[in-house]
Structure 1
Amino acid sequence: MKIYKTALVCLMTCAVAFFGCSCSLTDDSESSEPKRSSIIEKSVTTPSAQDVENDKDYADVKTDYAYETLTDDYVKELYMRIAKSVDTVYAPNITTTGSLSDYQITQAVEAYKNDHPETFWLKGSSLFVPYGDTTSVKLDYTVQNDKLIAAKKKFNIAVASVLKNLPSGNDFEREEYINNYIIDNCRYDEEAAENNDVQGNENDAYGALVDGKAVCEGYARAFQLLCNKANIDCVLLSGTADSDNHAWNGVKIGGDWYQIDVTWNDTDGENNYAENDYFNLTDDLMFKDHKLSYKYSELNSQTYLSVGTWCNFYVPKCTAEKYNYFNYKYPTVSDPDNADDVSQAVANAAKNGDEYFSIVVDKNTDFNYMYDRMMNDGYLYNWISEANEVNGYSPRLAESCYVYRKDELGVLTVELEYVD
Structure 2
Amino acid sequence: MTCAVAFFGCSCSLTDDSESSEPKRSSIIEKSVTTPSAQDVENDKDYADVKTDYAYDTLTDDYVKELYMRIAKSVDTVYAPNITTTGSLSDYQITQAVEAYKNDHPETFWLKGSSLFVPYGDTTSVKLDYTVQNDKLIAAKKKFNIAVASVLKNLPSGNDFEREEYINNYIIDNCRYDDAAAENNDVQGNENDAYGALVDGKAVCEGYARAFQLLCNKANIDCVLLSGTANSDNHAWNGVKIGGDWYQIDVTWNDTDGENNYAENDYFNLTDDLMFKDHKLSYKYSELNSQTYLSVGTWCNFYVPKCTAEKYNYFNYKYPTVSDPDNADDVSQAIANAAKNGDEYFSIVVDKNTDFDYMYDRIMNDGYLYNWVSEANEINGYSPRLAESCYVYRKDELGVLTVELEYVD
Normalised by the length of structure 1, the TM-score is 0.86
Do the aligned partners of residues 20 and 117 (structure 1) sit closer, same or farther apart at CA in structure 2, a change above 3 Å counting?
closer
Which of 98, 104, 116 matches 1:127? 116
- For residues 271 and 283 of structure 2, the distance between their equivalents in structure 1, rounded to whole angstroms, comes to 19
Which of 270, 287, 299 matches 2:276? 287
Kindly provide the CA deviation profile for residues 219-275 of structure 1, in whole angstroms up to 9, marking residues without a partner as x: 000000000000000000000000000000000000000000000000001110000
2:84 maps to 1:95? yes
Which one is further off, 313-322 or 15-24?
Answer: 15-24
The answer to whether the 8 A contact 2:27-2:38 is kept is no
1:46-125, aligned counterparts within 5 Å?
A: 59-125=48-114
Give % identity. 98
Residue ranges of structure 2 left out of the alignment (5+ in a row): none
* Partner SS for 2:168: helix
Q: CA deviation at 1:173?
A: 0.3
Q: CA deviation at 1:353?
A: 1.1
The answer to whether the 8 A contact 1:355-1:415 is kept is yes
Do the aligned partners of residues 52 and 156 (structure 1) sit closer, same or farther apart at CA in structure 2, a change above 3 Å counting?
closer
* Partner SS for 1:408: coil
Do the aligned partners of residues 48 and 405 (structure 1) sit closer, same or farther apart at CA in structure 2, a change above 3 Å counting?
farther
**Aligned Cα root-mean-square deviation (Å):** 14.4
Which one is further off, 45-54 or 33-42?
Answer: 33-42
Which one is further off, 357-366 or 122-131?
Answer: 122-131
Q: CA deviation at 1:306?
A: 1.5
* Partner SS for 1:302: helix
* Partner SS for 2:376: helix
Q: CA deviation at 1:190?
A: 1.0
- Higher relative contact order by CA 8 Å / sep ≥ 6: 1 or 2? 1
* Partner SS for 1:197: coil
Kindly provide the CA deviation profile for residues 292-314 of structure 1, in whole angstroms up to 9, marking residues without a partner as x: 00000000011111114300000
What is the number of residues matched between the two proteins?
Answer: 409
* Partner SS for 2:68: helix
Do the aligned partners of residues 381 and 54 (structure 1) sit closer, same or farther apart at CA in structure 2, a change above 3 Å counting?
farther
Do the aligned partners of residues 331 and 119 (structure 1) sit closer, same or farther apart at CA in structure 2, a change above 3 Å counting?
same
* Partner SS for 2:119: strand
Which one is further off, 190-199 or 232-241?
Answer: 190-199
The answer to whether the 8 A contact 1:224-1:235 is kept is yes
Which one is further off, 274-283 or 60-69?
Answer: 60-69
Which one is further off, 52-61 or 112-121?
Answer: 52-61
The answer to whether the 8 A contact 2:116-2:126 is kept is yes
The answer to whether the 8 A contact 1:264-1:278 is kept is yes
Kindly provide the CA deviation profile for residues 136-174 of structure 1, in whole angstroms up to 9, marking residues without a partner as x: 111010000100000000000000000000000000000
Which one is further off, 109-118 or 187-196?
Answer: 187-196
The answer to whether the 8 A contact 1:47-1:330 is kept is no
- For residues 97 and 38 of structure 1, the distance between their equivalents in structure 2, rounded to whole angstroms, comes to 18
The answer to whether the 8 A contact 2:102-2:111 is kept is yes
Do the aligned partners of residues 29 and 201 (structure 1) sit closer, same or farther apart at CA in structure 2, a change above 3 Å counting?
farther
Kindly provide the CA deviation profile for residues 267-287 of structure 1, in whole angstroms up to 9, marking residues without a partner as x: 001110000000000000000
The answer to whether the 8 A contact 2:34-2:66 is kept is no
The answer to whether the 8 A contact 2:9-2:234 is kept is no
Kindly provide the CA deviation profile for residues 16-39 of structure 1, in whole angstroms up to 9, marking residues without a partner as x: 999999999999999999999999
Kindly provide the CA deviation profile for residues 387-416 of structure 1, in whole angstroms up to 9, marking residues without a partner as x: 111111111111221100000000000001
Residue ranges of structure 1 left out of the alignment (5+ in a row): 1-11
Do the aligned partners of residues 416 and 51 (structure 1) sit closer, same or farther apart at CA in structure 2, a change above 3 Å counting?
farther
Kindly provide the CA deviation profile for residues 179-228 of structure 1, in whole angstroms up to 9, marking residues without a partner as x: 00000000001111122333200000000000000000000000000000
- For residues 398 and 136 of structure 1, the distance between their equivalents in structure 2, rounded to whole angstroms, comes to 69
Do the aligned partners of residues 219 and 72 (structure 1) sit closer, same or farther apart at CA in structure 2, a change above 3 Å counting?
same
